[in-house]
Structure 1
């Protein structure tokens, strides 16, 4: 039986041109944020710890400034709307699997026909003195990487016997998921990670590149 195609697509630096978490930190410059980013990229601390500690540096008194900046400074990568149209016409399930935060992920994606149930991201709590990140999609028993938003747990919910699993991403948050995917579209840090482990991948600059390859693989 032919497997159903499903796409797991990253948000920051993939759907968007820039990494929005890094952009927020660069703009507001809380002391110590840059060291935390380096530690996450080098894997000396987990993604959950790094992102949580970064946002904990920002006071909730600046809530609206942070939200407005995050939403207003997003640029969507070329070809995204066309990829969604392709998925709709081919009956391909499209899931957003994001290590980003709800206060910018949902507003940005509201411009596109993606059901809220197909968007996985982290939550936020502005009730205290500093921003607290919430983790509604934590690692399952098969993952010990302390991902925060565990992409592999979501991927495992779609068994390889039934689904052809396609991953689109750009960074360390996508690496473990790339090991489980049938097809990987990679850019930026994810390319080097795939090369180091010998994973097959297709490089892309925009979603037109992804779309062309998906169409070629149909034949």
Structure 2
């Protein structure tokens, strides 16, 4: 196979739980839950839903919310070792996240640098937190993704590389369709099986290291 390149999700993948959900549970009024359910059931787009969730939160809580997100985040076991393995093997590792810059960057900082980090941005200048979308859908995607993972993959122009996607949730579904191999958890694992996408499940990044070693040893798709 050609040299691998990895696109890895952040919330629920690098971290053991979803940071946006944790923030909402701690700071948002009760009406956040129906919005969350609509996102997960795909009744509304990720961009619309996440934007509405953060509009529930006052901007003057920025420091408190940021500190909570950083302190609350638990890194999935083996991530540090996984990053080191990709460096040793000279495999580019991109973090592609539907999370927000104010917590994604500080949580990842001890583990970088990466080939690239893509996530949504935030604006705290108004009364309510406003989410910005620097990586919106290109002309080939009409899903209103917010941080559009397949659009990012297309923009990086790695067509001739062996593409590995690592993820867990609704924001990873379309990216998985572009992958040669997927390391999956939760909803993404179920969908990869349903769609017959080449994949393997995982719980820790130590398993991801083992899977990647097998891919490299085989020299062709698993």
Q: Give the TM-score of the pair, scaled to structure 2.
A: 0.94
1:200 is displaced (CA, Å) by 2.5
Partner residue, 2:27: 28
1:201 is displaced (CA, Å) by 1.3
Structure 1 unaligned spans of 5+ = none
C-alpha change, 1:126 and 1:202, in structure 2 (3 Å) is same
Partner residue, 1:99: 98
Partner residue, 1:209: 207
**Where in structure 2 are the equivalents of 1:145-160 lying within 5 Å?**
145-159=143-157
Does the 8 Å CA contact 1:10/1:97 hold for their aligned counterparts? Answer: yes
Partner residue, 2:44: 45
Structure 1 Cα separation of the partners of residues 194 and 215 of structure 2: 25
Task: Please provide the CA RMSD for this pair.
Answer: 1.3
Does the 8 Å CA contact 1:31/1:57 hold for their aligned counterparts? Answer: no
Q: Does 1:108 align with 2:144?
A: no
Structure 1 Cα separation of the partners of residues 193 and 207 of structure 2: 19
Structure 1 Cα separation of the partners of residues 111 and 189 of structure 2: 27
Partner residue, 2:185: 187
Structure 2 Cα separation of the partners of residues 183 and 200 of structure 1: 5
Find the residue that maps to 2:84 and give its secondary structure. Answer: helix
Q: For residues 37-88 of structure 1, give each alpha carbon's deviation from its aligned partner in whole angstroms, at most 9, with x where no partner exists.
A: 1111100000000000000000112111111111110110011111111111
Does the 8 Å CA contact 1:186/1:204 hold for their aligned counterparts? Answer: yes
1:161 is displaced (CA, Å) by 4.2
- Number of corresponding residues: 217
Structure 2 Cα separation of the partners of residues 163 and 3 of structure 1: 5
**Where in structure 2 are the equivalents of 1:37-76 lying within 5 Å?**
37-76=36-75
Structure 1 Cα separation of the partners of residues 54 and 157 of structure 2: 34
Find the residue that maps to 2:12 and give its secondary structure. Answer: helix
Structure 2 Cα separation of the partners of residues 39 and 201 of structure 1: 27
Moved over 6 A (4+): none
